[in-house]
Copies of this chain bind each other. A is one copy, B any other.
Amino acid sequence: MQSMTISQLARAAEVGVETVRYYQRRGLIAVPPTRSGIRRYEAPTLVRLRFIRRAQGLGFSLEEIGDLLGLDEHTDRVAARAIAREKLTQIEERIAQLQAMAHALRDLVACCEHSPAAQPCPILHTLAQPTRADSYSKSTGAG
């Protein structure tokens, strides 16, 4: 399959036709010239489309992917590495945030399971507590 219609291209890359058009509008993939109104796509466009999906899977936004697509495999290795490192840092930060949330939730659930039935729900009660949200974390001391 040397040359594809847009729906063949989309199917090959496992995206929707509208998504392909959207990427064209965003300038991520080229709009090939048309003979008689219908455009035909070549293999390099499919490669580019798959690049986009894989980069998304690594957490890159379409804007960042636009930058990555502008890089040259041979002359821009340092830049590519820098972008990848930055993304890695962002992901690690996000993981840390989510781990803090998970930790707080685990504490609340555990607290709720072990507190006497006559008392108000520690989860709801803690959320309604005045100011600082960390009364459920670490110690109950003055710290």
Which A residues are within 8 Å of any B CB, using their own CB?
A: 47-48, 50-51, 53-55, 57-59, 68, 71-74, 76-77, 80-81, 84-85, 87-88, 91-92, 94-95, 98-99, 101-102, 104-106, 108-109, 112-113, 117, 120-121, 123-131, 133
A90 to chain B, nearest CB (A): 10
Which of B87, B113, B125 contacts A105, CB < 8 Å? B87
A80, A87, A113, A117 interface centre (most CB from chain B within 10 Å): A80
CB pair A73–B121 under 8 Å, yes or no, is yes
Which of B50, B74, B81, B91 contacts A109, CB < 8 Å? B81
Complex Cα gap A71–B120 (Å): 11
CB pair B92–A102 under 8 Å, yes or no, is yes
Complex Cα gap A93–B33 (Å): 44
